[in-house]
Amino acid sequence: MKMDIIIKNGNIIDGSGSKPYKSDIAIRNDKIFDINHYNETDIEAEFIIDANNLYVCPGFIDVHSHADVALLNDGQHASGIMQGITTEIIAPDGLTLAPLSKNNYELYKWYLSGILGTPKNEYDMSSLKKARLNYDNKTACNVAMFAGHGPIRLETLGMKDIPLVGKQLDNAKSLLSECFEEGAVGFSTGLSYYPNSYSDSNEICELMKIAKKYDKPMSIHLRNHNTDRAFHNGGILEAIEIAKRTETKLHIEHYKPDFNQSINDVLDPVDQAKKEGVDITLETYPYPVGSSFPQAFFPGYFHEGGPEKMLEKLIDKEERKTLISKMIETHYGNPSNNVWTHINSEKNKYLEGMLFDEVAEMWNISVEEMVCKVMYEESLGCGFRGAPPRNIKTWRQVEKNVMELLSRPDYMIGSDAIPTGGLPHPRAFGCFPRVLGRLRRRYNFPIEQVVQRITENPAQRFNLHRRGKIIKDNFADIVILDKDHLNDRSTFEDPNVHPEGIYWVIVNGKIAVKNEKTTGILSGKAIP
């Protein structure tokens, strides 16, 4: 029988956590046909890959990707596929563009332009079903989608500072049901972002009753806005309480200690909740600072009415003065120690890579005033990241924490990639190779354990059928790598650099990366 691809002589890490074993893999159409030892006379193939001295793994699954628009603008998605990511789960934090009516799509597309970028073409995002079709067979990787809290609120209430109740809440629950019927792998919310943060805990509980019906998890960015509306004043305790009351699955986004915290500090409430029967999984990424868009610095009233009203507040001198005085109330940290990553206009493009402090000093204004000025001039089309610590000891502690977290069976990797702008956070190009390469070697972790966390764990959590393991009849999503030479090369100084040591990537039985170069083949599916 003739196969499409045979991978010979590879050390197979099947994704289960079991030790590697030597065998060959036969691929036919989009599936793994068999795993066996083949002689040259046993079987024919269109393409034979010699994986001698290399490791063959299931395709990596990124459970937290802001590549919604990046994938639409460039389906090749080299920043992800060359990391070995064969499935991107998009729409985390409740920040996404579906399901939205035409007017709300235009509004939220504008509002999110600083984090998602701007689509080059027009797309129908009126339902999750139609949104998924925009990716199906049009991307190098598979794409799965959350049902986002932001679009659901926009469709039911608009950009208004009111928790959903009564008929509006019923409409939101109905819309969430439709999303699950049309393939959403979970419900996502980010309670540092709007309009999500206008909610109270009771609203989210009601929405999670729908998730319970469909057996879907909630992926949550913990609340630090409008904490007075939350169980236990927000944070991890609010999320746990929601899961307890609704008996639903909880997935906690980018959860790791801050610089002044220990692992026990952050995990004690999680472990206590798990003892009480709460079903919890978590994710992390291996960097000391994050990335976002500047709306995150501003209090709730600023966001009401959407982008047009926001720009009016930014240009009005008295409004801006009041706004600046209230930035401290957001609990999002001091804006000074940040760097512009994405500037939409050519006029201000030179700001990419500059510290906020530097720009403010150059313009002879305060940092807060500078942020307002850039947001107005860019019509919200701007994004930033934190500046990394200069202390190597701090870096090492963060990395040690990440690997210790990944030793737990309830963790996985979510890159939180924002592949937008000229100088993005390096996690967009290097997150997975960093963990599986240099950090795994530095802290002497078994490769099969780390692979399990980035393949089987997310596939099971988000019910990605026949993915996450190398077994017969599973989809042929496969990565072939050199474990000793696998390294991220993306840095804060030079982030747009692909990793080394990932030689082949196969998606649904088609070769997406060959000899460390993309092939141009777009075989990704809208899954599950």
- Are 36 and 83 within 8 A, CB to CB? no
Q: Are 109 and 45 in contact (CB under 8 A)?
A: no
Instruction: Provide the greatest CA pair distance for the chain.
Output: 81
* DSSP character at residue 229: G
pLDDT digits (tens, 9 = 90+) for 55-80: 999 999 999 999 999 999 999 999 99
Q: 454: closest CA among 23, 30, 65?
A: 65
Using 50, 70 and 90 to split pLDDT, how confident is the model at 325? confident
Q: Does domain 58-289+389-512 have CATH number 3.90.850.10?
A: no
Distances (CA, A) of 38 to 10, 24, 64, 188, 280: 12, 7, 38, 45, 42
Give 226-261 pLDDT, tens digit per residue: 999 999 999 999 999 999 999 999 999 999 998 888
- pLDDT tens-digit profile of 499-519? 999 999 999 999 999 999 999
Q: In the prediction, which pLDDT does 45 show?
A: 92
CA distance 456 to 88: 14
AA letter at 305:
G
Report the pLDDT value the prediction gives residue 43, as an integer from 0 to 100: 80
**Torsion sign across C-alpha atoms 134, 140, 146, 150:** negative
List Cβ neighbours of 257 (8 Å cut-off, separation of 6 or more): 263, 265, 266, 401
Q: How far is the C-alpha of 231 from the C-alpha of 129, rounded, in Å?
A: 33
Ramachandran angles phi, psi of 169, nearest 5°: -65, -40
**pLDDT band at residue 329 under the 50/70/90 scheme:** low
Work out whether the CA dihedral 111, 112, 115, 118 comes out positive or negative: negative
Q: Does residue 276 carry a pLDDT above 70?
A: yes
User: For the chain, what is the mean pLDDT?
Assistant: 96
Sign of CA dihedral 472, 478, 482, 486: negative
The pairs formed by 294-297 with CB atoms below 8 angstroms and a separation of 24 or more are 294/114, 294/335, 294/371, 294/374, 294/375, 294/382, 294/383, 294/384, 295/111, 295/114, 295/193, 295/194, 295/375, 295/380, 296/192, 296/193, 296/330, 296/332, 297/327, 297/330, 297/332, 297/335, 297/371
Tell me which H or E stretch contains 272. helix 263-275
**Any idea what the Cα angle at residue 52 is, between residues 51 and 54, rounded to 5°?**
65
Contacts of 27 (CB under 8 A, 6+ apart): 3, 4, 5, 6, 7, 33, 476, 478, 506, 509
Average pLDDT of the segment spanning 216-220: 98
Q: What is the pLDDT of residue 385?
A: 97
Cα–Cα dist 211/184, whole Å: 10
Task: Record the tokens describing residue 174, joined without a space.
Answer: 């109905």
- Average of pLDDT values for 295-318? 95
- Residues in CB range of 482: below 8 A, 6 or more apart: 53, 54, 55, 501, 503
Q: Where in the sequence of the chain do the CATH 3.20.20.140 domains occur? A: 58-289+389-512
- The per-residue pLDDT for 332 is 63
Least confident of 29-43, 205-219, 324-338, 444-458: 324-338
The pLDDT of residue 331: 61
Listed in order, strand segments (DSSP E) in 370-481 are: 382-386, 411-413, 478-481
**Nearest CA among 355, 353, 347, 488 for reference residue 424:** 353
Q: What angle do CA 266, 269, 274 make, to 5 degrees?
A: 120
57 burial type by CB count under 10 A (0-12 exposed, 13-18 middle, 19+ buried): buried
pLDDT in tens, 378-433: 999 999 999 999 899 999 999 999 999 999 999 999 999 999 999 999 999 999 99
Distance, CA of 96 to CA of 102 (rounded, Å): 14
* pLDDT for 328 beyond 80: no
What does residue 7 show for φ and ψ, rounded to 5 degrees? -100, 115
- Mind listing the pLDDT tens digit for each residue in 78-91? 999 999 999 999 99
* DSSP string of 298-347, one letter each residue: S-HHHHTT-HHHHHHHHHSHHHHHHHHHHGGGG-S--TTSEEEEEE-SST
Gap between the Cα atoms of 255 and 155, Å rounded? 30
Helix (H), strand (E) counts: the chain = 20, 21
Does 21 have pLDDT greater than 90? yes
pLDDT of residue 327: 81
- Give the H or E element holding residue 25: strand 21-28
Q: What is the pLDDT of residues 448-462, one digit of tens each?
A: 999 999 999 999 999
Kindly report, residue by residue over 30-42, the tens digit of the pLDDT. 999 999 988 877 7
354 alpha carbon, distance to own chain's centre: 25
User: Residue 330 — pLDDT band, cuts 50, 70, 90?
Assistant: low
Interatomic CA distance for residues 35 and 434, integer angstroms? 29
DSSP-based helix, strand, coil % in the chain, nearest 5: 40, 20, 40
What is the mean pLDDT of the segment spanning 174-179? 98
> 202 and 163 in contact (C-beta within 8 Å)?
yes
Mean pLDDT of 117-145: 97
For the stretch 461-497, pLDDT in tens is: 999 999 999 999 999 999 999 999 999 999 999 999 9
What percent of the chain clears pLDDT 70, i.e. is strictly above it?
Answer: 99
Classified as helix, coil or strand, 501 is coil
